Each structure stands twice: as C-alpha cells, then as structure tokens.
Chain A
Amino acid sequence: MTAPDVDVVVVGGGPAGACAAMVAARAGLDVVLLERGPFPGSKNMYGGVVYPRILDTLIPEWWLEAPVQRWVTRRSTMLLTETQAVTIDFRTEAWGAPPYNGATAYRPDWDHWLAGHAQAAGAQLITDTTVIGLIRDEHGAVVGVRTDRPDGDLRARVVIACDGVNSFLAKEAGLYEHTDAKHYTLGVKETLALPKETIDERFAVRDRHGVDIEIIGATGSVNGGGFLYTNLDTIAVGVVLKLPKLAAQAQRPEAIIAKMKQHPAIAPLVQGGELKEYSAHLIPEAGLTMMPKMVMDGMLVAGDAAALCLAAGIWLEGVNFAMASGMYAGEAAAEAVRGGDVTANGLQGYQRRLSDTFVLKDHRKLHRAPELVLSDRVQHLYPGMVANVVERMFRVDNPEPKPGLRRIVTQERQRAGVRRRDLLRDGWTGFRSFG
C-alpha cells in the first residue's frame, strides 16, 4: 500500500471545508485544502445572511475581524399577492452589538477570510485544483483523491468531502441512496448597487445595520420564496424555486425575479439599482429526507455535500451548518488519526457530534417545515387569504358596521377555497415544526 502524503485532505474551500481544515490543522495534523476556484469563495454564492455564533469557539471575537457588510437588526417576513402585502417586521438593537446575531457578507470575502484562518493554523491551501475522483483501496476504503493536475493524486488518511451541493465525491462513494430533483431548489440572485445613504433611507437603518426580508407569494406558479438583503452599498434580491415546478412551466428564473421586483411593495426598494451580478446555485432543500451516509472508511462528508443546509422554506441557514459540520468533521478526523483508526468506526465521532448538536437537532425539529412552507396551500392560497383578512379588518365600510374577525376569517377561508381541516392541520404542523 502506498503511504499517505498527508493526514487529511479537505475537498472544497467553502465554509465547511475551511472550518474542517482549520480544526484538523489546529489539532496538529498535516492538512491540505483543495479548492477548484482561484481562491476560496470565488465560485460561491448564497442569499447573503450568515449566522456565525458557532465561530465563538473557533475564532473568539470573530466580529472584530470578520468581513461583514451589515449586521442584521431588522427581519421582515412578507406575504404577497399581486396587489397586496402583509409584513411582519421585527427589529432589535441587540443584534447590532456584540456578540451579534446575523450579518450580511459577500462569500468571496467570507470564505477567503475563513480559509485564511485554516492557513494560519498550518493547513496548505491549493487553489485552481479540482478533485475529479476518489482513490479507494481494495476494500473500498477511501485513501485519497485524484485531481485534475498532472500527477494529481493525493493520498490521505482521511478525506473530508466539503464539495457542496451535488457532491460528486459523496455520490461516487455511493453515500447517497438516491437523488431526486424534488429535493432541490434553485436559488437565483441579482446583486444591485445603490448608494449606502439610499439603502439606509429605504430600509430605515443606519450605520452598519441591515435588513433581511423573506418573501412568500412572489414566485407565481412556481413554489418557492423570495429574499431581499441589504449589503453596505448593494442589495441582494432573489428567489428560491422548487425544481420540478420550475421545470414544469415556461418562465425563466430571471423573469420570476423581474416580476417580483415589479411588485408594488418591492419596486420602491430596488428601484434604480444597477445590476452588478446575476448568480445561481442549487440548494439541498429536503434536509433529513435526502441526507446521505456521512461516515465511511477513510471519508467524512460535511456541509451542503451532506445536505446539511437548513432550508425550511423562508428559513435559509446553510453557512452556519456548513461551518459547524466542517468543524465537527475536523475534530473527528483528528481523533481518528490520533487513535490510528480511520475506518468508519474510528470516524464515528463525527456522527455523534452531529446528532448531539444543533446540526441534526434543528433538522429533526424542522423536519416538516420545508414541505409545509413550499406546499401549494401556503404558496398559493394562504397569502391571498391572509391579505384579504387584513384588508377587511382595516377597511372602513361605513355606513356598514365593522364585521367581527371570526366572520371575516371564515368568509375569506371559504373564498380562498381552503378547507378548515387543512388549515388546522397546517397550523398544527407549523406549530410543531417551528414551535
């Protein structure tokens, strides 16, 4: 058997890979981090809000140095119909001061910064290098990776696959039982430039404070959700679309964004923004339903590669799950290498850490949420029903007396064609998932 070149090879310089490499290198292992782009983050996109609490242990007071655009102090959820909007708007000053909560950040900044910490810990970052396959021994254990460089094999005791959604490595290793388009959504996003003062005024924030708006009902016949985030002098506006629904109709994703941007509640916010970038990326949306096996002889899978993204419809947290799972993979790899057992058994510490922490606990808790939020009723019936109820509550129909709320709700439910039974059931599912 050929001797390993290094202890750990981490594939993919996204948040999962950077944290895996950082932790394994800090544990004293010889680590190589491979990234196909010219630098970590160069090929990566997302909506735009990261929740870095998990970094408290890895990079104390990370907020002093992290490349943050704005601290999210205002979070809104919007239900839209063609002509109406119901918005629940929350703001708190607490999220605008240490230790903070969420922040908007650009991925080419964020991933580059995180990978810098991995390098500082001693991991060797090699960019412009794509992993094209696994090297297995005669028993099927992973013993390294094959890259697209000449003489590009790199042997390692442990490979940590952090190669993102559609992980070719996890698939090649047979860790996904089956993949199905209905488990994925397509995210598309426009980044629009506006002067900082204009953003501050339009979104009613100051200094480094920013806004996160999640939108339901803006994606027409395609089930999905919309988002609008503020960076310092750009805004990110995009939609997340269920793949089978998208494929079944004729509209292109960019047309769906364009339509959302014309909505009377959105148009004034985005008006005049200069298009800087259009980007698209898949999201593993189905959580537990689609998760692969994450541990095998010689290999661990973390982040989106393991479908650990928590995409409960309007709830889009992937970067924090990637950072955490990467960190746990790094710890487990170090444990296994030190213990001299890099079989699936020796690497079980990873599975245990995932199960004991928010990574899998949140997924279990929100198990039903994506399906609920992306269901036809929530997508196509409830926004109109809710908006009509609110409209009638606030409408003054003098000389008619005000109707009671219960009557309005019943009438609007019937008008929307929603059965009482379904409404109760959805309410219960929602309560159980989010409650």
Chain B
Amino acid sequence: MSIVVCLKWVSHPGEPHDSRFSGMSHADQSALEFALQQAESTGATVTAITVGPPGAEKVLRDALACGAHHAVRIEGPTTTSGTDVATAIADHITDARWVWCGDYSLDRGAGSVPAFIAAHLNAQQALGIIHASIEGDAVHATRRLDGGRRELLEVTAPAVVSVEGATARLRRATLAAVRAAASATIPVVSATTPMHRAEFMVRPYRPRARVLPAPEGATALERLRVLTDAAAASAARGDTVRLEPADAAARIVRALREWGYLAH
C-alpha cells in the first residue's frame, strides 16, 4: 500500500521565490504528519510529491528529513493551474491508496487540487478536514459545515484527504535526517500532459445583465416599488423542494439559469 502527500512550495506574497520566505504551509505540514503517522501504523511507505521548479525541492527535503521514504518533483512552474497540477500528480500516483493534501495553498488558495486528484483517481474525497484520526485501515475525519455543524466521515482507501493547518503538528526532524536530506537526490519527472498557467479573475464578479419586463403600476412610485421589491412580501423566488441529490443539483442549476446567473 502506498501513501502520497502532496506538498506545495509557497512563497511570501511580497517576496516571490526568495528562499528565506518560502516553504511548506501549515496545512501541508499537517498533511505530511498524517501521512507519516499512517505509514507508521500501517507499515506503508510515504512518497512526497510536488509540482514546481527546482527551488520547490526545499519542501521535499523537509519531508524526507521528517521521515518520508521517497520524494518526486514534477517539473512545472508555480503558476500551473490547479487542474493541470492535479492531472500531473494523479498520472504519477495511479496506485496510491491514500493521498494527503493541505486544504488549500497559501498563495492561490482555491483548494481545488485535492478534489481534482480524487476525481482522476476515482477515489473517495474528504476535503477541508478539521480533525482526523487514523483508525486501522480507515481515517475518521471531521468536516466543517455551515452553521456550526460538522460532518463525521469514515474514509477508506482509495481516498484523498485534505486537512487544515491546525489539525496536526509536524514532527521535528532529527539532526542526522536533516543532514542526509540536504544531499539526497530527488528524482525529477516531467508532466504527462501540458501545463497551463492558472487564469485569475482580475475583475469583481458581476452577474450577467438580464432583460426585465417593464414594471407595472400607474404611478412612478408604484413602478419603483415593483422594481425594487420594496413593499412586496418576499413572495418572489423562494422555493422549498425535497429532491434526490442529482435532481436537486439539476434544480439548482435551472434556478440559477432562470435568474440570470448562468449563461443559457
């Protein structure tokens, strides 16, 4: 059985790639700690993997020093889009039983890579975990839901688990391991598919304009009220329905489309 931990080399926003201010996020450190604990309790090996330029090997050396058995760097710029990162990693770890990730990266922070990896591997996913414990072959995980609620999950392999930075404290590497990791050779592979730059939204989100019928009403004030919903009871668009998940998703998409938030 093999365990993989995905680590991203992140830098301080103002100091891109200044080695002094770059490294592993706390979330990634937590992921590494869980991977190591799981390896200890199951006898598996841990592979640390990153997509990044040569400087990114810093996080892999840190992982090796802490006890990861193998490390691999997939060559690629730090600007690679999350989907391409996930594809590159998933292609490389097809036989992984467990994949641990930080919940989202510090610099871009969409948290999408773990989900894409799970999709590629056809694995279960438990994302944004705030508490995890390794119980035999399973992982018991707690996920944060809105409204103070929690979701308790029992996850079994193959699975991708992404954890928050507060979930675990990474162990300290021994002095000998730090020294050995500094000179370890780190295999570099190239991605199997092309890597694209992540595209960023550079303007505020504005829903699409939509055509409204002219408001009805005899006076300007009445028309204004109709337009702004001001006095009307919120009869408008609330709609409570009970549906199976697939139908519910379709219903949500339909509503969004009707309301003009999605292109037709």
Interface residues of A (CB under 8 A from B): 32, 38-39, 42, 108, 112, 124, 126, 129, 147, 149-154
Contact = CB atoms under 8 A, between A and B. Distances in A.
A147 B182 contact: no
A415 B124 CA distance: 88
Contacts of B173: 149-150
B20 interface: yes
A124 B20 contact: no
A32 B173 CA distance: 16
A150 B174 contact: yes
Contacts of B175: 126, 129, 147, 149-154
B146 to A, nearest CB: 36
Nearest to B62: A128
B172 interface: yes
B138 to A, nearest CB: 29
11 contacts: A42-B20, A108-B20, A126-B182, A129-B178, A147-B175, A150-B173, A151-B174, A151-B175, A151-B176, A152-B174, A154-B175
Given A32-B179, A124-B179, A149 B174 contact: yes
Contacts of B172: 149-150
B20 A112 contact: yes
Interface residues of B, number: 10
A69 B121 CA distance: 52
Interface in B165-188: 172-176, 178-179, 182
A124 B61 CA distance: 14
Contacts of B178: 126, 129, 149
Interface in B187-223: none
Contacts of B19: 39
A341 B239 CA distance: 88
Contacts of A153: 175
A10 to B, nearest CB: 14
A416 to B, nearest CB: 51
B18 to A, nearest CB: 9
A124 B173 CA distance: 16
Contacts of A108: 20
Interface string B144-163: 00000000000000000000
B159 to A, nearest CB: 30
Contacts of A149: 172-175, 178
Contacts of B176: 151
A108 B179 CA distance: 23
A150 B171 CA distance: 10
A126 B20 contact: no
A129 B175 CA distance: 9
A352 to B, nearest CB: 33
A124 B65 CA distance: 15
A185 to B, nearest CB: 29
A149 B174 CA distance: 5
Q: List the 7 closest A-B pairs by CB distance, nearest first.
A: A151-B174, A39-B20, A149-B175, A150-B174, A152-B175, A126-B178, A149-B174
Nearest to A109: B20
A149 B175 CA distance: 6
Most A-side CB within 10 Å, residue of B175, B176, B179, B182: B175
B239 to A, nearest CB: 53
A124 B176 CA distance: 12
Nearest to A149: B175
Contacts of A154: 175
Contacts of A39: 19-20
Contacts of A112: 20
B122 to A, nearest CB: 39
Contacts of B20: 38-39, 42, 108, 112
Most B-side CB within 10 Å, residue of A124, A149, A154: A149
B29 to A, nearest CB: 13
A153 B182 CA distance: 18
B213 to A, nearest CB: 55
A79 B230 CA distance: 71
Nearest to B182: A124
A124 B182 CA distance: 8
Interface string B20-33: 10000000000000
A126 B174 contact: no
Given A150-B172, A150-B173, A152-B174, 10 more contacts: A32-B179, A39-B19, A108-B20, A124-B182, A126-B175, A126-B182, A129-B178, A150-B174, A150-B175, A151-B174
A150 B176 CA distance: 9
A152 B175 CA distance: 5
B64 to A, nearest CB: 14
A151 B182 CA distance: 17
A150 B178 CA distance: 11
Contacts of A147: 175
Nearest to A40: B20
Nearest to A41: B20
B57 to A, nearest CB: 15
A42 B182 CA distance: 21
B97 to A, nearest CB: 28
A126 B20 CA distance: 13
A131 to B, nearest CB: 11
Contacts of B182: 124, 126
A150 B175 CA distance: 7
A278 to B, nearest CB: 20
Nearest to A152: B175
Contacts of A152: 174-175
Contact of B179 (A38, A42, A126, A150): A126
Nearest to A6: B179
B58 to A, nearest CB: 11
A38 B182 CA distance: 15
Nearest to B176: A151
A147 B178 CA distance: 13
A329 B158 CA distance: 57
B177 to A, nearest CB: 8
Nearest to A34: B175
Interface in B20-49: 20
A126 B179 CA distance: 8
A124 to B, nearest CB: 6
